[in-house]
Structure 1
Amino acid sequence: MEYQKREIPQCEVCQQPANQTCGGCKLVYYCTKAHQKLGWREGHKFKCCAFKIQYSDTFGRHMIATRDIQQGEMILKEKPAIVGPKMTGPAECLGCGKRLEPQKIGDQFDFYKCSVCNWPMCDTKCEKAEVHKAECKVMSERKYKCTVRYQGPDRVEAAYCVISPLRVLLMKETNQMQFENIINLESHLEDRINTPLYRVLRANLSTFIVQVLGLPFDEETVLKIASIFDTNSFDVRAADGSKKLRAIYVTASMLNHSCRPNTRHIFLGDDYHLAFIATMPIAKGDPITATYTQTLYGTLDRRRQLKINKCFDCDCERCKDPTEYGTYLGNIYCSVCNGQRSTPASIGAMLVSTNPLDETAPWKCEKCDHIILARQMIWGNNALKQDMKKLSKTSPREFEEFIQKYSQTLHPSNHLVVQAKLALIQIYGNYKGYTLAELSDHDLKRKIDLCHDLLEVADKVEPGWSRFRGTLLLDLQAAMSMMTKREFETGKITKAGAQDELMESMVLLQEATSILRVEPHMREILERKIKELSDQLEMAENGNDVVVVE
């Protein structure tokens, strides 16, 4: 028998035999720690990653794993190539991006204005911010003065549409390489050029850049930059809601979309670093995917949103499945079979699309021959969405009534029912008048049941360590701990029973911690919750009362 000689890895620096692998990419070896540090400084830090970008006729440029990636691993951390305001929105500072509050100036309210270009800002510090210097200079040279002023708290300003594209165009002189990186991204301008929005941009944005500021760009280049933003930018939001911006990340733009992604993203720090976390194990050679839409939407809404906003028709495995992995997120009961159900609790047959990749395809019952036209399905879906928009967001009653009202029409995991259940989970235990301590036993159990319902949905459409799963686990753990406290105090369970239930809560909390500890501002909260639950377990073990701290 012949044995194949095993190749001995060589040190990336000195080419001598090596047994220490790079902890990041796992692709190169070093003979010593010293050579690992040297190799890092000499250039490996610029190519150390667990992925590569490749091209195919089907997917274009996309990202695949170059090694096995573990669940919870940070795959990519990237600084934005450009950050700026959204196309329209309330007045915000062009220095730090915060939403602005008016100040009393003389006998009226207005914003502080940049002393040079007159754009609303926070203060003198922000008007001198690096990000504002180039645009301020070019506007002042052309003697342009912004006319945005305070006109009420709900005022939406369209003038901000010029800022983000302008910042990219000015890069041509200040950062040529980054300008080329951005201009080479996919734009889909040919799909947008004749839309109502881009007709407005041609008149306003292009005129401002070319005629008002006199910059040496043609109309097509200006509109292409705007379209690159619409195709590739990420919405960046501060945790406290004070900032709503958009940013382009060149490498992150290479992630392909999937309606059942294997990553999630977070923003880190004040400089808006974008990090992608693996929500499930990703095998070497597999595509690394993100979602460009809401995973809790049904297929009709997801594909429509992707077509309008990102200019492509999604044909991922989930979109091809008329049942969306058995969740029936976008489906309704067959009115014929539903009318023949023996009891309201029995599961009726569902109407499913005969071709989910064609929104004009008819919908047919899974059991009988009943068919409805696609336009009927779309009209009904839109009508129910309008009903949901009218519901009060601060009280559970209207959401409970919505679920009950449409229980004979919508599957328990239809996307509208899921949204109503998610709203109830957020209200029960968190809103004034509905804190965990104030909830009735019935409502507390309702919250627990709702969490279990949505965890089943999460397992199918956002499997693994998604943010959705993590936050559901936190809500479930808190409600279960409160239920344990009540059952122990009323004698429904023994000390041993309380310990068992609290241990079950601890398991949920530990999984939630594994998922959410990388989220900004979450580590301290999770550590506090673990300590509180550990104290509860110790108290239960000693026979003392179980205390739940909300």
Structure 2
Amino acid sequence: MPTCEVCQQPANQICGGCKLVYYCSRPHQKLGWREGHKFKCCAFKIEYSDTLGRHMVATRDIQQGEMILKEKPAVIGPRITCPTVCLTCGKNLDPPEFGDYYKCSKCNWPMCGPECESADFHKPECKAMTDRKYKCDIKYQGPNKVQAAYCVISPLRVLLMKHSNPLQYENIMNLESHLEDRINTPLYTILRANLVTFIVQVLGLPFDEETILKVASIFDTNSFDVRSPDGSRRLRAIYLTASMMDHSCTANTRHIFIGDDFHLAVIATVPISKGDLITATYTQSLWGTLDRRKHLVTNKFFDCECDRCKDPTEFGTHLGNIYCSVCNNPFAQNTSNRGSMLVSTNPLDEEAPWKCEKCEHSILSKQMVWGNNALKQDLQKLNKTAPNEFEDFIEKYSQTLHPSNHLVVQAKLALVQIYGNYKGYSLTELPNALIRRKVDLCHELLEVADKLEPGWSRFRGTLLLELQAAMTMKTKREYETGKITKAGAQDELMESLVLLQEATNILRIEPHMKDTLEAKINELTYLLDATAEEEVQ
């Protein structure tokens, strides 16, 4: 029988967090927590290997939807370049009413107002600048003007920790930097001229060039892109523990940011077994393998060799594939090969040729890259509020791109977001044909989500939310026009409710989704009750 962690007597109360220790009573559980278990209580451990470096491993079975980690940022600050933001709260500053932004009375950096200026968060950097009589010269130059001056702030905050919080400084400096790989890049040539000059010559801080650039490189290697739900703040932050998660292109977690202080919460999207790696995605899961691996090697300095990257069809989604121009030629005599795709002969080698699955036709990798980039540019030029342009893109390249090619997927996702949500295309305004189109698009994208972002991913949750809304409107219209019976309407509304309940399980932890989900559940429940009452009458 297990024994109590505190008194070593027989115990049957297991710790609800780590599921590893037992207690004989509630008082001993509280005592054990105060005496140190709170620092060890988690569902994972950090291990090291020569191939993976430091990584996170599950110490027990983890349930789908379980919060594995909640962590506050070790340091948070502006991105290298960004619009004008407040140094304290990170909010994008609106165009000023009277010529210029509110400025800190000491260092002259743009701020929200007196409250942010006087916040403790801003004081160390403000003092470092005012001690040297430095004044920021950012002025209002029009909306969304990108400022390069912010590149100094996040590294400065880490460097100032050497005296204010030496333990945190050492923890950050012990993270992987890959400075040796970045040092001669164009960006770091600019940082050497701007960041190093600012820290050493302008502020007179006692740091050498290598240390300053190492801090910048630690940010580039380990930081998370932090966004507020309303889009008013976009920052970058380092989370010491979360940075230990290994990458996978089909990760078993997702993360969200909670509160104004941006605590990071890591959520299991699928059940994770004891001993399994706990993984995150450091790239975009809806990009093809060529783009994902290029992004990872350029920004994180490693070559991904996960199962998805090894599979030339990306788990059968054909996300990065195109149709073979020979087999799918409308004048080809042999029609048995129609639908065959060009796939990479070695997905882990970006220079490997691409060959047809059925015939001998092949093209060079650089031809694939050129074509991919050209079509990406076409997609980026489309009006983000004009669904016809996305529909035309899908139709135009239907003989070239697989229906779940990543460019087509992005176009379909844009349509799902426009239909039912944008002005002029709300669900009440959409004709029946476009309601059905939205339903079909959601089903197609859910098939992709099941393979590339399995489980309770944000992608799946938002698609389910869009699908149930369209299905509910479709059912309501068909019932009102007599196309389906009351019983049929009840069945379809129950199907929509099942989808909504799953979407709620996935998204309810998102801070900005609670009211939306409750309203949708109440609305659907009302429709179910209304049709039930009519049937009784």
What does residue 532 of structure 2 align with?
A: 541
What does residue 396 of structure 2 align with?
A: 405
- Deviating runs (4+, > 3 A) in structure 1? 340-347
Alignment counterpart, residue 193 of structure 2, candidates 190, 203, 208:
203
What does residue 241 of structure 2 align with?
A: 251
Cα deviation digits, residues 83-136 of structure 1 (max 9, x gap):
10000111111111111124344xxx1111110011111111111112210010
Structure-2 change in CA distance of 1:429 and 1:346 (3 Å)? farther
Give the percent of matched residue pairs that are identical in Structure 1 and Structure 2: 75
What does residue 307 of structure 2 align with?
A: 317
What does residue 11 of structure 2 align with?
A: 18
RMSD over aligned CA atoms reads 1.5
Cα deviation digits, residues 15-37 of structure 1 (max 9, x gap):
10101100000000000011111
Q: How far is 1:534 from its partner?
A: 1.0
Counterpart residue type for residue 272 of structure 2: I
Counterpart residue type for residue 440 of structure 1: P
Asked if the contact 1:361–1:373 (Cα under 8 Å) also holds between the matched residues in 2, the reply is yes
Taking the aligned partners of 2:301 and 2:106, their CA distance within structure 1 comes to 39
Counterpart residue type for residue 234 of structure 2: K
Structure-2 change in CA distance of 1:544 and 1:110 (3 Å)? farther
Asked if the contact 1:344–1:408 (Cα under 8 Å) also holds between the matched residues in 2, the reply is no
What does residue 487 of structure 1 align with?
A: 478
Counterpart residue type for residue 136 of structure 2: C
What does residue 440 of structure 2 align with?
A: 449
Cα deviation digits, residues 141-176 of structure 1 (max 9, x gap):
111111111111131110000000000000000000
SS, match of residue 417 in structure 1: helix
Alignment counterpart, residue 209 of structure 2, candidates 199, 219, 237:
219
Counterpart residue type for residue 81 of structure 2: T
| 2:114 maps to 1:121 | no
Taking the aligned partners of 1:35 and 1:183, their CA distance within structure 2 comes to 38
What does residue 144 of structure 1 align with?
A: 134
Cα deviation digits, residues 453-507 of structure 1 (max 9, x gap):
0000000000000000000000000000000011101111100000000000010
Taking the aligned partners of 1:126 and 1:438, their CA distance within structure 2 comes to 44
Q: How far is 1:343 from its partner?
A: 12
What does residue 306 of structure 1 align with?
A: 296
What does residue 49 of structure 1 align with?
A: 42
| 2:498 maps to 1:522 | no
Which region of structure 1 is more displaced relative to structure 2, 336-345 or 217-226? 336-345
Q: How far is 1:331 from its partner?
A: 0.6
1:142-541 aligned at under 5 Å gives the runs: 142-340=132-330, 348-541=339-532
Counterpart residue type for residue 459 of structure 1: D
Taking the aligned partners of 1:154 and 1:274, their CA distance within structure 2 comes to 27
What does residue 112 of structure 1 align with?
A: 102
Q: How far is 1:201 from its partner?
A: 0.2
Taking the aligned partners of 1:527 and 1:307, their CA distance within structure 2 comes to 42
Alignment counterpart, residue 36 of structure 1, candidates 20, 29, 37:
29
Taking the aligned partners of 2:287 and 2:39, their CA distance within structure 1 comes to 38
SS, match of residue 543 in structure 1: helix
Asked if the contact 2:14–2:23 (Cα under 8 Å) also holds between the matched residues in 1, the reply is yes
Taking the aligned partners of 2:201 and 2:425, their CA distance within structure 1 comes to 57
Counterpart residue type for residue 113 of structure 1: K
Q: How far is 1:381 from its partner?
A: 0.1
Which region of structure 1 is more displaced relative to structure 2, 277-286 or 127-136? 127-136
Cα deviation digits, residues 509-548 of structure 1 (max 9, x gap):
0000000000012122212211111111111112279xxx
1:23-102 aligned at under 5 Å gives the runs: 23-102=16-95
Asked if the contact 1:95–1:128 (Cα under 8 Å) also holds between the matched residues in 2, the reply is no
Q: How far is 1:346 from its partner?
A: 9.5
Which region of structure 1 is more displaced relative to structure 2, 448-457 or 240-249? 240-249
Taking the aligned partners of 1:111 and 1:330, their CA distance within structure 2 comes to 46
Asked if the contact 2:327–2:335 (Cα under 8 Å) also holds between the matched residues in 1, the reply is no
Asked if the contact 1:298–1:330 (Cα under 8 Å) also holds between the matched residues in 2, the reply is yes
Counterpart residue type for residue 125 of structure 1: E
Structure-2 change in CA distance of 1:344 and 1:436 (3 Å)? farther
Taking the aligned partners of 1:527 and 1:240, their CA distance within structure 2 comes to 19
Counterpart residue type for residue 195 of structure 2: L
Structure-2 change in CA distance of 1:347 and 1:251 (3 Å)? farther
Taking the aligned partners of 1:441 and 1:138, their CA distance within structure 2 comes to 63
Taking the aligned partners of 2:318 and 2:385, their CA distance within structure 1 comes to 28
Asked if the contact 2:327–2:334 (Cα under 8 Å) also holds between the matched residues in 1, the reply is no
Task: Provide the TM-score with structure 2 as the length reference.
Answer: 0.98
SS, match of residue 290 in structure 2: helix
Structure-2 change in CA distance of 1:525 and 1:345 (3 Å)? farther
Counterpart residue type for residue 359 of structure 1: E
Taking the aligned partners of 1:226 and 1:262, their CA distance within structure 2 comes to 29
Unpaired runs of 5+ residues, structure 2, are: none
Taking the aligned partners of 1:102 and 1:309, their CA distance within structure 2 comes to 33
SS, match of residue 173 in structure 1: helix
Taking the aligned partners of 2:360 and 2:209, their CA distance within structure 1 comes to 54
Q: How far is 1:310 from its partner?
A: 1.1
Asked if the contact 1:331–1:414 (Cα under 8 Å) also holds between the matched residues in 2, the reply is yes
Taking the aligned partners of 2:9 and 2:442, their CA distance within structure 1 comes to 56
Cα deviation digits, residues 415-465 of structure 1 (max 9, x gap):
000000000000000011111111111100000000000000000000000
What does residue 548 of structure 1 align with?
A: none
Cα deviation digits, residues 195-226 of structure 1 (max 9, x gap):
00000000110111011111111000000000
Taking the aligned partners of 1:343 and 1:366, their CA distance within structure 2 comes to 15
Taking the aligned partners of 1:243 and 1:110, their CA distance within structure 2 comes to 20
Structure-2 change in CA distance of 1:216 and 1:62 (3 Å)? same
Q: How far is 1:342 from its partner?
A: 9.0
